[in-house]
Structure 1
């Protein structure tokens, strides 16, 4: 039988003595081409034909175009840069506002867990964040505050025609000290005109039926109750307010002596360290026998006629609570309500206010009981210069105010001597 014959391609190739096939010649040509290409790429990285002339021409054209730019184009670029910077500032502001919204929205929610530090190093937060200013609350007042306030802080007094003479003494002393960031909220036309004639910053509220009738004709307590509603607008606009009654004499700039670490920073009606800053008062009930002694914590009230209030959520809630109660309880004393809302703790049926508070130094922010009962009788304390003196304990205000000015401003050492400790 004849043997099996191999296909032609299997019988050709190197070493076979047969000439290379057509496929082998193509493969060899491709290999040689690739090799030559690699060699040329290595020896002539910029190509076999020089492009230096084209490159020089290209860069010359670029240089010519730069030199042809006009000053108008440069100005346009600078304008665009300034616009981008403003947009960037707006973006940062929006980010801050969104961050504040998240922070305020998270109040009262346990959104994060914190690790306590070593023993003795743990310290809770003291200062609540301020609210976002809302100029739409009162655009006219916002415009006034932009010109009068300093560092978003301002002294505010509320007055009607019943206290015109005392008001004059009040702003005269403020001017003497050199304080510029103060504002009188006028409750009637007479006070508005009086302030304008004395070059005193004044704000006349828009007509408000009901409130206006109280403001125009009401006495000290009625007007004092109104201030809690009025102050709310200042806080909504993002301003911290140092509320001042007009029976107060200024001898230093109070803004130099504030801590700003609390929602409310108030002067005290206390007359010494214990009554002003708090003490442990032991109540004795003999009928209880072994348990006859009960310890109580005591503090004399904050004075609602002079306090610094920051634009925070707890501060606005305090103003709302006090104003709401006074509208429902017209016979209540505003200072009593102010302290009850500020200090009463949460208990069954009542949710207390979560506001931080600080008592002012009683010898810098001095009430008239401290002055007439203690300070004027002490050789050492007489040398101290208070920030303010508040004639809150005495009804003969104008006579004592004039005497206080004589004592602290004109150095008349016996100016206070003829007054009794209390009122006659």
Structure 2
């Protein structure tokens, strides 16, 4: 009995101890949770400081999101424009493929001829309605001679258009770069076009020298091509002795006068570079051609031709460069690495018909047989005393004065 009472007492004590432990554990847990809550919400559950902090954080997040959204919209816009340009280029390429026709078999050996004459662009009169209206009355068979002039070259301009009138050419146009030249042309019944004011280039047009004006022509020509016209671009220092349109092939994007003075320099030759240090491989073969003259060329309204104008005008606006050098680099440099060359077809004009002044004063005037040949044009491009040499050309070829060319030196001295 005594053991049973002892056991019951122990159980009773154990139960009381267990209940005490549970209370202790519960209190401990409560204290622990309280500490956590106190740590996490140190400013209170509904405290004003917490609300202000949350609102500030929310405002900062919103501003950042708006900035990110603005940048994203800008990137989307730029990407959309790039895609549109790419689509336009694809459409243009597809149009060219359709124009060129379906695929054909190559055919027998030696009978294959590749296409050189690119299709012309669709005319877009919305580019310049006023110029489009004017060209309808000036151009013949959608082609004409175009020159740019300001009052600095008025005397040479008179020799230029007088020679054109003498030959009987009617499809020519002077792009007047100032009011004085416009009035001068009108008083001499010369077709003239005065461009609308353009703040970006008017200062060059009115006061620029020959090189500055020469660079400007690439921008001006673009509108003519967009309107669907082929242009024979002419500098002012040129005398016309025959109608050039009777001597143009029209089978290439660009048909240009050369600065070459004989068959090799004008049409190309192999030049051997010798480097003795290389031993067995000391001789390297190179291909050479003298540059095209950017003051006299026939250009057709094709995509490669317009791209050429864009490339040259773009580079001249960014670089301090000579327009003729840039013109030839864009025409002849091949594709390499990340550079895409211009795939424009080219033709070199006959240098005895489309004659530069080096050919005339170095070779022709001293050769009895060549003196009898009348060129189509003479371009006084190699000599700075342009006006007296232009007048001498007229005297020699038009008035028959056989010693008219004799007083002039070979070079520019």
Query: Into which bin does the TM-score normalised by the smaller protein fall?
Result: 0.7 to 0.9
**What do residues 322-371 of structure 1 show as CA deviations (whole Å, max 9, x unaligned)?**
00000011x20000000000000000120000100000000000000000
Q: How does 1:192-211 map to 2 (within 5 A)?
A: 192-211=182-201
Shift of 1:103: 7.0
Structure 1 counterpart of 2:329, from 331, 340, 344:
340
Structure 2 counterpart of 1:384, from 370, 373, 379:
373
2:294 paired with 1:298: no
Shift of 1:105: 2.5
Distance 1:209 1:245 in 2: 24
Distance 1:315 1:280 in 2: 28
Distance 1:234 1:368 in 2: 29
Give the root-mean-square deviation of aligned CA atoms: 1.6
Which residue in the other structure is 2:252 paired with? 262
Which residue in the other structure is 1:123 paired with? 113
Which residue in the other structure is 1:283 paired with? 273
Which residue in the other structure is 1:416 paired with? 405
2:298 paired with 1:308: yes
Which residue in the other structure is 1:397 paired with? 386
Q: In the superposition, relative to structure 1, how do residues 403 and 111 fare at CA in structure 2: closer, same or farther (>3 Å)?
A: closer
Structure 2 counterpart of 1:143, from 133, 143, 146:
133
Shift of 1:389: 0.1
Determine helix, strand or coil for the equivalent of 2:368.
Answer: coil
Distance 2:196 2:351 in 1: 37
Structure 2 counterpart of 1:224, from 188, 211, 214:
214
**What do residues 257-316 of structure 1 show as CA deviations (whole Å, max 9, x unaligned)?**
000000000000000000000000011111111101000000000000000000000000
Shift of 1:418: 1.3
Which residue in the other structure is 1:98 paired with? none
Distance 2:307 2:271 in 1: 31
2:208 paired with 1:213: no
Distance 1:106 1:208 in 2: 33
> Which 10-residue stretch deviates more, 110-119 or 248-257?
110-119
Q: How does 1:76-95 map to 2 (within 5 A)?
A: none
2:158 paired with 1:168: yes
Q: How many residues were matched structurally?
A: 323
Distance 2:203 2:270 in 1: 45
Distance 1:143 1:241 in 2: 16
Shift of 1:104: 4.3
Shift of 1:114: 3.2
Distance 1:239 1:105 in 2: 22
- Unpaired runs of 5+ residues, structure 1, are 1-100
Distance 1:201 1:287 in 2: 62
Q: In the superposition, relative to structure 1, how do residues 412 and 236 fare at CA in structure 2: closer, same or farther (>3 Å)?
A: same
Distance 2:92 2:223 in 1: 22
- Unpaired runs of 5+ residues, structure 2, are 1-89
Shift of 1:242: 0.1
Under a length normalisation based on structure 2, what TM-score does the superposition of the two structures give? 0.76
Determine helix, strand or coil for the equivalent of 2:183.
Answer: helix
Distance 1:114 1:284 in 2: 45
Shift of 1:126: 1.2
Shift of 1:116: 1.0
Shift of 1:113: 4.2
Runs of 4+ more than 4 Å apart: 101-104, 106-113
Distance 2:195 2:252 in 1: 29
Q: Are 2:231 and 2:300, in contact at CA under 8 Å, matched by a contact in 1?
A: yes
Shift of 1:115: 1.6
Determine helix, strand or coil for the equivalent of 1:216.
Answer: helix
- Which protein has the bigger helix share? 2
Distance 1:180 1:156 in 2: 12
Distance 1:111 1:260 in 2: 20
Q: How does 1:42-121 map to 2 (within 5 A)?
A: 104-107=93-96, 113-121=103-111
